[in-house]
Amino acid sequence: MAELGFVGLGVMGSGVARRLLDAGHTVTVWNRTRAKADPLLDAGANWASSPREVAERSEIVFTMVTNTEAVRAVTEGPDGILAGLAPGKVYVDMSTASPATTRALAEQVAAAGAQMLDAPVSGSVSTLEEGKLSIMVGGDAETFERVEPVLEAIGPRVFYLGPNGAAVTMKIAINISLAVQMLAFSEGLLLAEKTGIARERAVEVMLASVIASPMVAYRAPFVLEQPDEAWFDCRMMQKDMNLALELGRELEVPLPTTAVTNELLTAANAMGIGDRDFAVLFDVLASMSGLKTEVVS
């Protein structure tokens, strides 16, 4: 069992930290809002006063925060993770951040004598709870082998992809399909509904068809009723879409469906529903079609 640290206790971060606790590891946590840590503290986690203290008390310290800026906020400065690292320690960032920032941060970690892995996940709250999450990893191969048993406590499918930045690039490549699939599903659903087929019935039929990918299977019900707490809100998704579009321009890869979907996420933000799960792409299209939904009436 390892001495682990975890910084960033959002919906997914809390779930990952919980799995590490359940596997028998000692877990020290920090979050900007302490109240989010309370369920984990009740389950046996330890509280630290800063990200630096988490790193100082851990062999392996994880972060799972919202974006590139948030990664910088918890790693830099006198109370940041970098200040608490020492030779032999490993820093694992599970956030979806800029690949260029990830590579630069890995150099800073190495300067402290430690090693860094980028290890974003693919899956949802439900796949995490079911133990079916997949994890992509970039960084030093020997460091990956050391951390792999810990990662397998989070999810059984762990893929090593190469140097730092490779895993977060793969995560961005995957995430653009999530939003694009949701948009295509919404288009088809609205076509069916406007011909007179009940929305609930159309969802049922579509989930029994060949289009029912795992993503569609767990998000289609959200067009009928949004979850109380967004699994992955529009602003978070748009962050990933913008990272993809930036990479596309850099690598000269056209991303037409990503660009269109990104504009509809902008519309969701403008409509005041950007804090909802990105399944509200359906509600944006429905509103444009003259239909009412639970979210937009």
> Would you please indicate which residues are annotated as catalytic (active-site) residues?
171
- What are the structure tokens assigned to 142, written together? 């020997």
SS (H, E, C) the chain: CCEEEEECCCHHHHHHHHHHHHCCCEEEEECCCHHHHHHHHHCCCEECCCHHHHHHCCCEEEECCCCHHHHHHHHCCCCCHHHHCCCCCEEEECCCCCHHHHHHHHHHHHHCCCEEEECCEECCHHHHHCCCCEEEEEECHHHHHHHHHHHCCCCCEEEEEECCCHHHHHHHHHHHHHHHHHHHHHHHHHHHHHCCCCHHHHHHHHHCCCCCCHHHHHHHHHHCCCCCCCCCEHHHHHHHHHHHHHHHHHHCCCCHHHHHHHHHHHHHHHCCCCCCEHHHHHHHHHHHCCCCCCCCC
- Say if CB 130 and CB 111 are below 8 A apart: no
CA 37 – CA 29 distance, rounded (Å): 7
CA 267, 71, 240, 147 dihedral sign is negative
Residue type, 4: L
Residue with tokens 């978070």: 236
Which residue in the block uniquely carries the two structure tokens 């159309």?
202
Q: What does the block give as tokens for 224?
A: 């009928």
